[in-house]
């Protein structure tokens, strides 16, 4: 048996996502910015998680030596930096027990789907509301049905603000804007949010037509924003979607547990 205390690290397109586990129990989760190679090299010399946590601003700390990190990354340049850490366990797609996956399926999508299926059963559909908004589903035999990828909430706002000459950079709001905007910012908010909600509704309904009893879970940094807006537009559907903030970590926990058996 390995140490019961371990760290999970998900390298996303925008940030590092951390979790601290005691065996299968999640103790804490937090995010940091990307760390430069010099800091990662310094972490390699930390004597315990107390020292380690001071470097990554963990909310809590425990006293064990050589904290192992279980890594899932979608950013190759960042992956290369973290491979210098000596007690690293990098998770690759071939280690996720899903059938019919294609070689370029993101490890984050695969792990989140594994976590959803392990928690609520297959079939399962995962909506990940991160930098990209993704849909990933598997049937009752853990066979990948497929998915979809589109720009996430903030990326859509950012693209309009940065890639057009006259449109301003607008931030999403917690509440739905009026559908028919009477200003440019309100029109942008309406266009992005109502289209996203309509798209999510269409994908979810199509999934439930094929798998009526299936779990649908939403994860990612913008899950609360989307669920709040969805609740206003389609409360009956929103009530059946599970908010799962740590879904990728649930998948990493499944991988950890498989190594311990």
Catalytic residues: 108
Dist CA 261 CA 258 (whole Å): 5
CA distances from 254 to 45, 114, 194, 208, 235 (A): 28, 8, 36, 26, 32
Nearest to 111 by CA among 124, 127, 93, 130: 93
Strands 132-138 and 242-243: unpaired
Take residue 260 and report the two structure tokens written for it.
């311990």
Give the 3-state secondary structure of residue 28: strand
Q: Left (φ > 0), alpha (ψ -120 to 50) or beta: where does 109 sit?
A: alpha
What lies within 8 Å, CB to CB, of 175 at 6+ separation is 228, 229, 232
Dist CA 57 CA 34 (whole Å): 13
CA distances from 233 to 55, 156, 161, 207, 228 (A): 43, 20, 26, 19, 9
How does DSSP classify residue 73? E
């Amino acid at each position: 048996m390995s140490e019961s205390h371990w760290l999970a690290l998900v390298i996303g397109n925008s940030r590092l996502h951390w979790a601290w586990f005691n065996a299968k129990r999640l103790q804490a989760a937090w995010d940091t910015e990307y760390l430069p190679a010099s800091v990662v090299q310094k972490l390699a010399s930390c004597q315990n998680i107390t020292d380690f946590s001071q470097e990554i601003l963990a909310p809590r700390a425990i006293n064990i030596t050589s904290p192992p990190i279980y890594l899932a990354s979608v950013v190759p340049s960042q992956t290369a930096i973290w491979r210098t850490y000596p007690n690293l366990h990098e998770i690759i797609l071939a280690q996720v027990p899903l059938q019919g996956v294609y070689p370029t399926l993101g490890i984050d999508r695969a792990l989140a789907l594994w976590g959803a299926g392990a928690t609520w059963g297959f079939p399962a559909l995962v909506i990940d509301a991160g930098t990209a908004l993704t849909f990933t589903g598997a049937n009752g035999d853990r066979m990948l049905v497929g998915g979809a990828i589109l720009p996430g909430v903030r990326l859509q706002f950012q693209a309009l603000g940065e890639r057009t000459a006259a449109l301003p950079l607008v931030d999403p709001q917690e509440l739905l804007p009026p559908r028919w905007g009477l200003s440019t910012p309100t029109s942008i908010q309406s266009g992005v949010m109502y289209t996203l909600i309509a798209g999510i509704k269409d994908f979810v309904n199509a999934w439930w037509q094929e798998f009526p009893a299936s779990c649908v879970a939403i994860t990612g940094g913008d899950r609360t924003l989307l669920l709040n807006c969805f609740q206003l537009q389609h409360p009956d559907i929103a009530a059946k979607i599970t908010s799962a903030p740590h879904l990728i970590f649930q998948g990493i926990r499944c991988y950890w547990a498989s190594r311990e058996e």
